[in-house]
Structure 1
Amino acid sequence: MSSSPVPPPDLGIPLSTSTVSISIINTTTTISGLASSIFYVPSISGAEKMSCPAFSFLIRHPSNRSLLFDLGVRPDHSKEDVLPPALISRITKMGAEITVEKGVRQILEEGGFDAKQLEAVIWSHWHFDHVGDPSTFEPHTALIVGPGFKSRVGPGYPANPEATFLESDYAGRELREISFEEEGVVEIGEFKAFDYFGDGSFYLLDTPGHAIGHLSGLARVTSNPDSFIFMGGDACHHVGELRPSQYLPLPPNISPNPFTCLTSPSTPCPGSLFSPLLPDGDNTKPFYGLSNTGSHFDVDEAAKTIEKIQGADVREDVLVVLAHDNSLTGVVDFFPQTANSFMEKGWVKKLRWLFLREFGKAVGYEREVEGLSDEWLKWNAWKN
């Protein structure tokens, strides 16, 4: 079923000429072996298991203040007695396999950033693949969390034997909980937004549902014209939960072709190829919906958050980056480079439908692991 797009909402982002510099950090984390149905449904052939990275962000303000948004997984996670027992049990039950090469502090310093000057670490939420190891940063580096963390989530292990994070993550440093009822809170789209620096350059957004106190970030990276980077955390786990949408229908011809490794880069891919995977074949409904397995604190609230993000995701001047989006690798520039020039480099267009390559098996377009050739499947296979 083909539908026309609905005009996107006006996000109403307050005017400002202030910007921040954003670097997307590949935390060297890889999480694999998880059934995708833990987080989203339906299970699509060839994409039943997740294998994903974990991204964080370095946020640098012109005043020399700097923040980190998320930390990935701590590199010593496999050592005995490092993680809380409740977390080890959960990871084992989920069947997760985790590899981490370096901690974020090491990555920062190897890239030439002095981590001693870091003002704060922001946790999008308190799950193990986002909290990293804040204890590797100086005591003056605050830890920022979302609403409800102190009263409904803390304390950490061992004070709370069932906790999945550690007391040492925040011991000896300021633990600051963001309130979306305090001064400096504005409305951006349907989000409550806290203006962190007070100049319109970086906002923390209230994005509840997946976890208590889940936060996202919205950074203005250029002005005149404005452009923004949306740091989504785990507001959703796969861009197939965002796209297509009522604002961004699946197009009849997809370019760049998500299977460019197999076909001519200049040849579009027909959107109709993926229609059987869409709910009711509707080109305005996302491929995935949220699962009800307990992996989301409030499924209904999480679904509302996703709908709100769709209003930003349709825009060419907003780069939406989810924490575990495989599509980024090979397209974006990672730290120590910045992502501020994403519009100039065309990343939104390049990334928008790239996730569809994960559905190659489901649509009958499988690829060999070795000896890959453009001649393996000819373009006319799409037509037959």
Structure 2
Amino acid sequence: MGLFLQPDYTGHPDLFGPAFSFLIEHPSRKPVLFDLAVRTDFDKLPGYPKWVELKWDIVVEKDIATILKEHKVDVDGGAIDAIIWSHHHWDHVGDPSTFPGSTDLVVGPGFMEQYNPATRQDSSLLKTDFEGRNVREIDFEKEGNGLKIGRFSAMDYFGDGSFYLLDTPGHSVGHICGLARTSTSPDTFVFMGGDASHHGGEFRPTDYLPLPKDLKPSPLKRRAPVCPGHLLQEIHPDASATKPFYNVTNALSHDKAVADWTIDGLGEFDAHEHVLLIVAHDDAIVDPAQIDFYPEPMNDWYEKGIGPKVKWLFLADFEGAVEAQEKGEKAFTWGTYP
């Protein structure tokens, strides 16, 4: 955990997480996928030896194409219009070769120059990811026509306000996020955060969304059903109710200053009650499942009250820090990672 996010909180040394892929359906267009998670044969990827050295535990039971086929989606027949990659990392790109050539590949600005395996020997991607398919690199300036949503440059993917791509740099070159409209009365959205952030503690709390005085449901097992917010505030490095718990390190950023700017922007979206922000590795909403997973739709997340229910669940990671604080021990330490 400490290599990627700081400080090191007592009792939470490791970073756990799923790898989410999103299916975005449209009433009159073919659906698209936002990210493909991890391929089953991830050991074939160029970066695999490094992961072994880091002692990462990677478990992939099925790839995305298989999951879709099991639910009667005609993947081989071209049912999916496009695969949109948030960025180039192995736990997001999956295996595009499991989709036919009729399925486009969509990437962010500057992506091909930086990561194309046909021209870059140091690419972490495979040539089979690109072979036989149209690759579209988004130009937000031209295709977005100056559109901004929040602080981010944006483009209306279908041209009808139902799904947007957002230019969210910092973590990697060409990193993009997705924003899908899930209802119109009221207007609600799911924000697909990719790796713009890896943990809710990077963009919560904020001035727009302070740490509540009472947390219900309680994220801490020993403080159910209601947890006093001051217990979490007391372990915060600044004892703050309006500053995020974590800082991202250089190791998790292509450009840390830009990554910090993007993370601040996530906090602005996240504070809006009509936006459900899900970063790609949010472990807090998985076990037990706090949202509706495929094949169930997510359009009614707002009516079900899922947003406020999951907002502060990430604080469960700090249970050990709270216990240490109560014993008069250190709740956190700062590592040597810049």
Asked if these proteins are the same fold (TM beyond 0.5), I'd say yes
- CA distance in 1: counterparts of 2:212 and 2:292, whole angstroms: 27
Q: Does 1:72 align with 2:27?
A: no
- CA distance in 1: counterparts of 2:260 and 2:130, whole angstroms: 30
Aligned to 2:154: 193
1:242 aligned to which of 194, 203, 207: 203
- Per-residue deviation, 1:152: 2.3
Aligned to 2:258: 301
Q: Which amino acid aligns with 2:94?
A: G
Contact 1:279 1:285 in 2 (8 A): no
Contact 1:258 1:353 in 2 (8 A): yes
**Residues 112-171 of structure 1 deviation map (CA, whole Å, 9 limit, x = unaligned):** 322231100000000000000000001010110000011222235xx6332111111011
**Residues 40-81 of structure 1 deviation map (CA, whole Å, 9 limit, x = unaligned):** 111111211112111110001111321000011101223xxx
Inter-CA distance 264–150: structure 2 relative to 1 (3 Å threshold): closer
Aligned to 1:333: 292
Aligned to 1:131: 93
Q: Does 1:146 align with 2:108?
A: yes
1:360 aligned to which of 313, 316, 319: 319
Inter-CA distance 76–155: structure 2 relative to 1 (3 Å threshold): closer
| Length-normalised TM-score, structure 2 | 0.91
- Per-residue deviation, 1:256: 1.3
Greater displacement, 38-47 / 193-202:
38-47
Aligned to 2:183: 222
Contact 1:236 1:306 in 2 (8 A): yes
Aligned to 2:276: 319
- CA distance in 2: counterparts of 1:349 and 1:365, whole angstroms: 27
- CA distance in 2: counterparts of 1:152 and 1:72, whole angstroms: 21
Q: Does 1:287 align with 2:245?
A: yes
**Residues 194-245 of structure 1 deviation map (CA, whole Å, 9 limit, x = unaligned):** 1000011100000000000000001111002100000000000101001011
Contact 1:112 1:336 in 2 (8 A): no
- CA distance in 1: counterparts of 2:117 and 2:235, whole angstroms: 43
- Per-residue deviation, 1:365: 8.2
Q: Does 1:104 align with 2:64?
A: yes
Whichever structure has more strand as a proportion of its residues is 1
- CA distance in 2: counterparts of 1:120 and 1:92, whole angstroms: 32
Aligned to 1:278: 236
Contact 2:179 2:190 in 1 (8 A): yes
1:206 aligned to which of 152, 159, 167: 167
Contact 1:193 1:203 in 2 (8 A): yes
Q: How does 1:369-384 map to 2 (within 5 A)?
A: none
Contact 1:279 1:286 in 2 (8 A): no
Show structure 1 runs of 5+ residues with no match.
1-35, 367-384
**Residues 259-308 of structure 1 deviation map (CA, whole Å, 9 limit, x = unaligned):** 3x55543xx20111112322311111000011123x31000000000111
Inter-CA distance 347–40: structure 2 relative to 1 (3 Å threshold): same
| Length-normalised TM-score, structure 1 | 0.80
